[in-house]
Copies of this chain bind each other. A is one copy, B any other.
Amino acid sequence: MNAAIIRQHRQANQIRPICITPHFMPHAEGSVLIECGNTKVICTASVEEGVPGFLRGQGLGWVTAEYGMLPRSTHSRMRREAAAGKQSGRTQEIQRLIGRSLRAVVDRSKLGERQILIDCDVIAADGGTRTASITGAFVAMQLAINGLLAKGLIAENPIIEAIAAVSVGVVDGVALLDLDYPEDSGCDSDVNVVMTQSGKIVEVQGTAEGATFSINELNELLQLAQSGINELLEHQQRALQSQAA
């Protein structure tokens, strides 16, 4: 596949159009619809008093995540996981990644013994659903925490700093930012990066799908990811400020 052909409408270092709609779900403590190009994910943050058994009595909160795709979010219909009776390995891998990423920026001692359950449900998939989920889930979680602060249920903001995520990859020898589905399918290597506002890495997952890559190539991809994440972090802040206003 020729990267030049794929990327007709944006530069190699350009992310897709982003739209974050806060309070998308009427019932959730925090929620957004995040659209990254044609990828659309509903992210909700549900607050529940109490923590799982292994944490009880330690004064620490918990953040965990679940991920799903509507059966026809994809080009061909996928089997519904509830009907299949289990979540796929891919689903479990993604939801564990989302949970770990969010926990990395939460001071759980400030959350108290309560749990934030993140749900990321993909309405339409065009590549980058796991990174869009993380970027959106952060805003949903912040909104839920804002509610806890407003109600006086917690005294201090437990969020250490903001995070966002993006995928980068090498397609036809060219490093591309924010791969869509055709790019992702055709890419030689694919790296998902979760980073903080201060430029620290929270998670990096690089896979050589077609061709292995050198440490230098990884560094080039990480720089590209950082530029995209900085933009995503601005979108998050704008979405949060529109709420505060």
Question: What is A's interface to B at a CB cutoff of 8 Å?
Answer: 25-28, 31, 38, 42, 44, 46, 48, 66, 68, 70-77, 80-87, 89-93, 95-96, 100, 104-105, 117, 119, 121, 123-124, 191, 196, 198-209, 212-215, 218-219, 222-223, 226
- Please state if A219 and B215 are interface contacts (CB–CB under 8 Å): yes
With a cutoff of 8 Å between Cβ atoms, the chain B residues found around residue A105 in the complex are 212
- Please state if B123 and A72 are interface contacts (CB–CB under 8 Å): no
Interface pairs A-B: 4 shortest CB-CB: A200-B212, A81-B82, A89-B92, A44-B72
- Please state if B117 and A28 are interface contacts (CB–CB under 8 Å): no
Q: How many copies does the complex hold?
A: 6
- Please state if B93 and A87 are interface contacts (CB–CB under 8 Å): no
Complex alpha-carbon distance, A81 and B85, angstroms:
8
- Please state if B70 and A119 are interface contacts (CB–CB under 8 Å): yes
Known: A66-B71, A82-B68, A87-B82. A208 touches B200 (CB 8 A): yes
With a cutoff of 8 Å between Cβ atoms, the chain B residues found around residue A204 in the complex are 191, 204-206, 218
- Please state if B203 and A207 are interface contacts (CB–CB under 8 Å): yes
Residue of B nearest to A86 (CB): B85
Complex alpha-carbon distance, A71 and B64, angstroms:
14
Known: A27-B73, A44-B72. A208 touches B202 (CB 8 A): yes
Rounded to whole Å, the gap between the CB of A43 and the closest CB of chain B is 10
10 contacts between A and B (CB under 8 A): A25-B124, A27-B72, A80-B82, A81-B82, A82-B91, A85-B86, A100-B207, A199-B214, A200-B212, A201-B213
With a cutoff of 8 Å between Cβ atoms, the chain B residues found around residue A91 in the complex are 82
Rounded to whole Å, the gap between the CB of A101 and the closest CB of chain B is 9
With a cutoff of 8 Å between Cβ atoms, the chain B residues found around residue A209 in the complex are 104
